[in-house]
Amino acid sequence: MGLVQKMKGNDRTFSQLADSVFSKVLHEGAKSQRIDVVFDVYQETSIKDAERASRGADTGIQFRSIAPGHNIQQWRKLLSSSSNKASLIKFLVNEWKEHKYREKLQNKTLYVTCEDTCFKISEEHWEGLKELKSTQEEADTRMLLHALHAAESGYKAVVITAEDTDVLVLCLGFRKEIPCPMHQKCGTQNRTRFLDITKLGQSLGDSVCNAIIGMHAFTGCDTVSAFAGRGKMGTFKQMKSEKTYQKVFCELGQSWDVSAEQFQKLQ
């Protein structure tokens, strides 16, 4: 959705928007044989949806149906609604299955998610893939399933295009599960950076990488409030220098219950 959010939608038809997003996707993956577009899933009953509600989402215009020829008005308000975004994703994916889009792929393969399904689209045909079916709500976590699938399919490296710190943290935490070099592409069009996840993970060490997801959640993430006046860097430096904290953050989230000993160490 980060890619869609960057688009200028006003005074375009939905068909023109689908074409623009598809062109952007091909541009991003110009040097790759395989491109994965991983969308978020917008569930009505979830912690993430409750967080969106508290931020004042779903106050915009509601679209019951999206047609190719409809003109887009108030693009930002349209994107403020979770149900609109869910409908837009379905529309984009259905459009990209059409022959006029498939022929633009040429020798590339596109994997694109829609709700719990993933579609493999090539110039010749499209199909649903059982091995990439997922109940993950967040694209941040679902990306790793696609990275693993690409690595196991014989691709020599994976580049993840994302600005989020969450994605970097997850990549470091799961890098050893993915048997190929990983990079994160971030920055602006004029100043692009490629972070070498594999090298960064080696320099931090396995113990820190295993603990970093727990530390990130504990100090504040999308669905967890942060401690007032307590940033991540102070906690990270303390954890990096103390094996006890590495152990407790590694254990955090492994079970539903927090033991008294874990609680004391986290305090």
Report pLDDT for 60: 58
Which residue shows structure tokens 């693993």? 148
pTM for the model stands at 0.89
Residues listed for the chain = 267
State the burial class of residue 55 (Cβ atoms within 10 Å of its Cβ: 0-12, 13-18, 19+): exposed
Per-residue pLDDT of 77-116, as tens digits, reads: 888 888 899 999 999 999 999 999 999 999 999 999 999 9
Q: What is the pLDDT, as a whole number, of residue 168?
A: 95
Helix (H, G, I), strand (E, B) or coil at 121: strand
The Cα–Cα gap between 89 and 112 comes to 10
Mean pLDDT, the chain, whole residue set: 91
240: nearest Cα among 212, 200, 201: 212
Q: Where are the domains of the chain?
A: 205-267
CA 142 from centroid of its chain's CA atoms: 7
Report pLDDT for 144: 96
Please give the Cα distance from 42 to 59 (Å, whole number). 15
Q: Which residues of the chain have pLDDT under 70?
A: 45-61, 64
Q: How far apart are CA 131 and CA 139, in angstroms?
A: 16
Task: Please name the amino acid found at residue 160.
Answer: I
The sheet with strand 182-187 has its strands ordered as 158-161, 182-187, 192-196
The token pair that represents 116 in the structure block: 């719990």
User: Which pLDDT does position 113 carry in this prediction?
Assistant: 98
Cβ neighbours, 10 Å, residue 21: 20
